[in-house]
Amino acid sequence: MIDVGWIGGAPGVPDALLPKTAFLTPPMGPKGRCGGFGQHALAIPTNAKNKREAWEFIKWYNSLDVQYELAKLQVIPSLAVLLESPTLQEKQPWIKPIVIQALAGVEQLPKIEIALEVANLILGTECDNYWAGRKSLDTAIKDMVDGTTRALKEAGFI
């Protein structure tokens, strides 16, 4: 689930601030694409005690009714269909063009199965080694790069 939010789209932003608020999309990369912007997601950790309840909450939060009510409160919806809502377009005519412009250059990337290994086992371990004084900063960074490169090669990415 992606739910994009900006200060200008937050509930309770005084009207006086809106003319002073600008929205910029990230620049396109060399291939004419950009990564996601200003996003956050709801996720369920593997060791969560209430996974079913967490999943029910995510489904509820993403439901058309809830997203519609949030859109009326100036929260940018996570459901693209709501960008066509007359209520949303009347209250916040700037949302649809900004979202469409921003998403035009975004490339959906495949899920990388080794992301957890790289983030937790390699980067996390080497950060711990540095903070605990077991390695110098330079050595920890070199080992992060080497470990990440090795994992990417083994997975066939490079």
**pLDDT (mean) for 46-71:** 88
pLDDT at 4: 37
The answer to whether residues 63 and 14 belong to one domain is: yes
The answer to whether residues 21 and 49 belong to one domain is: yes
The overall average pLDDT reported for the chain is 74
**pLDDT (mean) for 63-91:** 83
Residue with tokens 């396109």: 28
The pLDDT of residue 62 is above 90: no
Q: Does some domain include residue 87?
A: yes
Domain encompassing residue 140:
115-154
The answer to whether residues 50 and 123 belong to one domain is: no
Q: Does some domain include residue 110?
A: no
The pLDDT of residue 61 is above 70: yes
- CA–CA separation, 1 and 37 (whole Å): 14
CB within 8 Å of 107: residues ≥ 6 apart: 31, 33
The pLDDT of residue 131 is above 70: yes
pLDDT at 86: 86
* pTM for this predicted structure: 0.44
The segment with the largest mean pLDDT, out of 17-26, 72-81, 82-91, is 82-91
The answer to whether residues 49 and 81 belong to one domain is: yes
Q: Does some domain include residue 18?
A: yes
Domain boundary among 66, 85, 104: 104
**pLDDT (mean) for 93-107:** 73
Q: Does some domain include residue 2?
A: no
- CA–CA separation, 46 and 56 (whole Å): 16
The number of domains in the chain is: 2
The answer to whether residues 50 and 75 belong to one domain is: yes
pLDDT at 135: 92
Q: Does some domain include residue 1?
A: no
Amino acid at 41: A
The pLDDT of residue 21 is above 80: no
Amino acid at 30: P
pLDDT at 12: 54
Q: Does some domain include residue 109?
A: no
pLDDT at 6: 44
